[in-house]
Structure 1
Amino acid sequence: MFSKESKKTNENKVSERNIVGKNTQISGEIISEGDFRIDGTLEGTIKTNGRVIIGETGFIKGKVECTNADIEGKFSGELIVSNTLTVKTSANINGDVIIGKLSVEPGASFNATCSMKGAVKEMKNNEQKGKEKTA
């Protein structure tokens, strides 16, 4: 009924969920394909194709590269989110941020330089469309 190919596809889609607990401190570099929830402290780097969640008690000082991020706690450093960054009311962000999309709730502290990856492409496309219409 099921081919070997469909079984392999399902096995590859299994996503890891990693949690750094409230009273845990980590220093170093973390590379993974799975999601991360940080409720403790991390000084260093996280690189993942998954989602990074910084809980209300969480703090990251360093560099984060991920697909999506939800921040409720504190972040200081360089944050690169290829898709959507969601900044919750209790969040405190300082540093440099590069994102695809941004959602900030009222009350959040967002003291960062911010650039959006997709904005430049959209402007170029709009300029070309405008030229095509007037030509």
Structure 2
Amino acid sequence: MFNRRDEQSMASSSGQGTIIAQGVKVEGEFTSSGDVVIDGELSGSISTAASLRVGESAKIRADVTASSAVVAGEIQGSVHISDRLELLETSVITGDVQCRELSVAAGAQINGRVSMGDAKAEE
């Protein structure tokens, strides 16, 4: 799903985080202060003060807020990343994206508006 470089870029400094595994479905408001890995399904909203990794099998129908993110799966909803957003070749985002820095691999899809820069300056 992710190559070694991607796994290293998402490694938590504390080694702690939350995993929503493939086959798991979560509905509602999901909030975390640590790293989050999603390989399952989530609908509602997700917010983390740390990093988010969306696996290739993940299907998210939610507004997403995180410090940084690496996406290989599907997100339907607005995406607000305060720092770096990396979209891998299998990622599909349907919704508006706000981030400071964006990396898009060949094959990645964004169906929506993209705004880059400091979110505080734009508000």
Q: Which TM-score band applies after superposition, normalised by the shorter structure?
A: 0.7 to 0.9
Bigger radius of gyration: 1
Report the equivalent of 2:104: 104
The aligned residue for residue 93 of structure 1 is 93
Q: Distance in 2 between matches of 1:120 and 1:68?
A: 16
- Give, in whole Å, the separation in 2 of the partners of 1:97 and 1:45: 15
What is the TM-score when the length of structure 2 is the normalising length? 0.82
Percent identity of the aligned residues? Answer: 32
Moved over 6 A (4+): none
SS at match of 1:65: strand
- 1:86-107 CA distances to partner (integer Å, 9 max, x unpaired)? 0000101110111010000001
1:5-36 deviations in whole A, cap 9, x for unaligned?
xxxxxxxx846311001000000111111011
Residue type of the alignment partner of 2:61: K
Q: Which residue of 2 aligns with 1:17?
A: 17
Q: Which runs of 5+ in 2 are unaligned?
A: 1-12
Larger relative helix fraction: 1
Contact 1:71/1:91 (CA < 8 Å) preserved in 2? yes
Matches within 5 A, 1:1-135: 14=14, 16-118=16-118
In structure 1, what is the Cα distance between the partners aligned to 2:19 and 2:118? 30
Classify 1:53/1:119 alpha carbon distance in 2 versus 1 (closer, same or farther; 3 Å): closer
Per-residue Cα deviation, 1:17-73 (whole angstroms, up to 9, x for no partner)? 110010000001111110111100000111111111110000111111110010000
Report if aligned partners of 1:53, 1:69 keep a CA contact under 8 Å in 2: yes
**What are the ranges of 5 or more consecutive residues in structure 1 without an aligned counterpart?**
1-12, 122-135
Secondary structure of the structure 2 residue equivalent to 1:107: coil
Please, what TM-score do these two structures have when normalized by structure 1? 0.75
Structure 1 counterpart of 2:6: none
